[in-house]
Amino acid sequence: MRADLEIIQQWVRPGHHILDLGCGDGTLLDFLQRERNATGFGLEINPDHITTCMGRGVRVIEQNLDTQGLDNFDDGMFDIVLMTQALQAVRRPDKVIDEMLRVGREGIVTFPNFAHWRLRWGLALSGRMPESDALPYKWYNTPNIRLCTFKDFEALCRQKGIKIKSRRVVDGQHQNSWLARLWPNLLGEIAIYRITREST
């Protein structure tokens, strides 16, 4: 099982109503529907992904976060709003996070860490924009227009009064590593954050 699925499913209770922003081919929702009896939707704009979702029984809505936002979802209607590996690709991540925590009681966000040592090393040595397995694009064609580091994300949460309930730092294969736990912003490639505005 993909390690990030394993981690995320621990935070999902049976029957949870879930919204997955940028749900891709629906792997995660399909998994949560089967393993956790979860309900809900994915939002996606890639036509092939949408077709795959429909074929596997994942409810998917064609909706562009950048242009349409989440206005069509009521306050607090989801238990969890997920966003895996998509935060860095939206135009205004800060507003998306606000919207996630408006329509959901809890958010789960994963994104690549731009401060990972290999990216820092690449930039320092070559003087060129870094590329990696998690970020395999050129600077001019990358969909990842809002890259940030774990520290940046946590600073934004602090500024917005958002509580980080858990953080798991993993490597590119979503595996746990003790090194990444020791020095996350340098050695962690991907972080999985569980955030909320609720006090409990």
Judged by the rule CB under 8 A, the positions of this chain that interact with another protein are: 17, 39, 41, 47, 50-57, 59-63, 72-74, 77
Shortest separation between residue 79's beta carbon and another protein, angstroms = 12
Q: Which is nearer to another protein, 14 or 47 (CB)?
A: 47
Backbone angles phi, psi at 195, to 5 degrees: -125, 155
Give percent helix, percent strand, percent coil of the chain, each to the nearest 5.
40, 25, 40
Closest of 137, 121, 89, 106 to residue 199, by C-alpha: 106
Kindly give the pairing relationship between strand 104-112 and strand 163-170. unpaired
Where do the DSSP E strands lie in 37-189? 39-44, 60-62, 78-84, 104-112, 163-170
Angle separating helix axes 150-160 and 93-103, nearest 10 degrees: 60
Q: Which is nearer to another protein, 47 or 127 (CB)?
A: 47
Shortest separation between residue 98's beta carbon and another protein, angstroms = 19
Q: Tokens standing for 72?
A: 């069509």
Phi-psi region of 161 (alpha: psi -120 to 50; beta: other; left: phi over 0): left
Q: Which is nearer to another protein, 6 or 62 (CB)?
A: 62
Shortest separation between residue 72's beta carbon and another protein, angstroms = 4
Q: Which is nearer to another protein, 23 or 162 (CB)?
A: 23
Q: Tokens standing for 142?
A: 């990358």
Q: Which is nearer to another protein, 19 or 170 (CB)?
A: 19
Shortest separation between residue 68's beta carbon and another protein, angstroms = 9
